[in-house]
Structure 1
């Protein structure tokens, strides 16, 4: 009679993202030591070097460097992670604040003397309309979540925005991701009444995993359509050949 097979347990749900960042920090932020695993709801997984969350300005994608040069006034970074964008802007003399849903991310920002608070893209810890620049870099335009959620989220961004404020954000066109596994996922989303590039993902770190959450990749025509009923308009686009892009949004008159 053979041995009973080992039972495979699902990962515990916890602050996996904060755990991931702390692992990188404790490894002195050196590349190739800690990898972020992103698991999609259909089981498809991807991995990237988590040291990118601590990358220096010169190592950032060109579109991020160009966009960040336009930051001014009081800056709010939504989904700030370890605070790399804010640290750069703080060194330029700007007033900065980060928001992240991960307690570990907020703690790491504070260790680097970058102010940050717990919050989400659709529930910001800000009481007044005093933000001049909102950042959603690192493809964090994806925090719009989906068609319905984007309206709530963009109205929330407008609530905290000062007159003349702008959003500096990056994303990617999901239709540049080829392969049957991706096109099948897009089709399944459409059949479920979701946007094709509306990912349901979670982040893994060791035995930990975040809860699943929606993260939106969308084409520029889809973005323009989503913005119509919101307080924002598309002012400027920076495209690259890999499917990624940057945008500047401004408040409508």
Structure 2
């Protein structure tokens, strides 16, 4: 299996293949097509939810899972200091080519830096925790990187609708899904991602020492939320 299918696809698009397409496999059946162009959309094509996320960021920002730099570039445009990280070497190359000033290959769980005013996790970025149990571990890591008055901004979705025609799994939270990226004939390893409904996320956040505020919700059960530290 190819390790950096995401990076390969992003670099192909940058090289001029504007029709490039990812295929996203999961356990629910046919693979979904995802135009790679969606990683490069200009700010005027952002959804309302994504635009609100950008407008909410302040101070020194950590963009986690930054991909091709859509949000990092928007934050730089707002004259904010941004550190953009991704585990994909190819994605980081693309970000640098596109003008992201501080793009780094890094895994958030091993990342060490000074404090941030905002930590941003978009495109269901909180899901990198992989399982519902590990969200608390991710929040504990982010807590150590967040300024006392700082804010974590993230989006996620309630994917209960996926089970309209089938029984929810009993061995794991229903939002835990297995994925695989494919670009042309190249396939990544299977990996886990978790989509968490807002009520469950609020409970986890509360136990982890955060207030969880709903900033916006759209008609597709996708929501934008903010986490701020509770006073000691």
2:138 is matched with 153
Deviations 1:85-126 (A, max 9, x none): 0111112111001111100011111112311112223332x2
TM-align CA RMSD: 1.7
Alpha-carbon deviation of 1:42?
5.5
Q: How many residues align?
A: 230
Q: How many Å separate the matches in 1 of 2:47 and 2:82?
A: 21
Alpha-carbon deviation of 1:169?
1.0
Q: Answer yes or no: is 1:98 the counterpart of 2:76.
A: no
Question: Which sections of structure 2, spanning at least 5 residues, go unmatched?
Answer: none
Q: How many Å separate the matches in 2 of 1:135 and 1:127?
A: 15
Deviations 1:40-61 (A, max 9, x none): 1455421121101010111011
2:74 is matched with 88
Match for 1:167 among 133, 144, 152? 152
Residue aligned with 1:228, SS: helix
1:236 is matched with 214
Deviations 1:128-149 (A, max 9, x none): 3x21111111221222321221
Decide whether the 8 Å contact of 1:140 with 1:169 is kept in 2.
yes
TM-score in terms of structure 2 length:
0.92
**5 Å matches for 1:21-100?**
21-27=10-16, 30=18, 33-41=19-27, 43-100=29-86
Q: How many Å separate the matches in 2 of 1:90 and 1:201?
A: 31
Structure exhibiting the larger radius of gyration computed from Cα positions:
1
Decide whether the 8 Å contact of 2:54 with 2:74 is kept in 1.
no
Deviations 1:174-229 (A, max 9, x none): 0133653xx44xx23xx22x111101112111222222221111211111122132
Alpha-carbon deviation of 1:234?
0.4
Match for 2:198 among 211, 220, 241? 220
Decide whether the 8 Å contact of 1:174 with 1:219 is kept in 2.
yes
Residue aligned with 2:109, SS: coil
1:122 is matched with 109
Q: How many Å separate the matches in 2 of 1:223 and 1:44?
A: 29
Question: Which sections of structure 1, spanning at least 5 residues, go unmatched?
Answer: 1-11
Q: How many Å separate the matches in 2 of 1:44 and 1:153?
A: 31
Decide whether the 8 Å contact of 2:126 with 2:135 is kept in 1.
no
Q: How many Å separate the matches in 2 of 1:169 and 1:200?
A: 20
Residue aligned with 1:14, SS: coil
TM-score in terms of structure 1 length:
0.85
Decide whether the 8 Å contact of 1:155 with 1:230 is kept in 2.
yes
Decide whether the 8 Å contact of 1:154 with 1:231 is kept in 2.
no
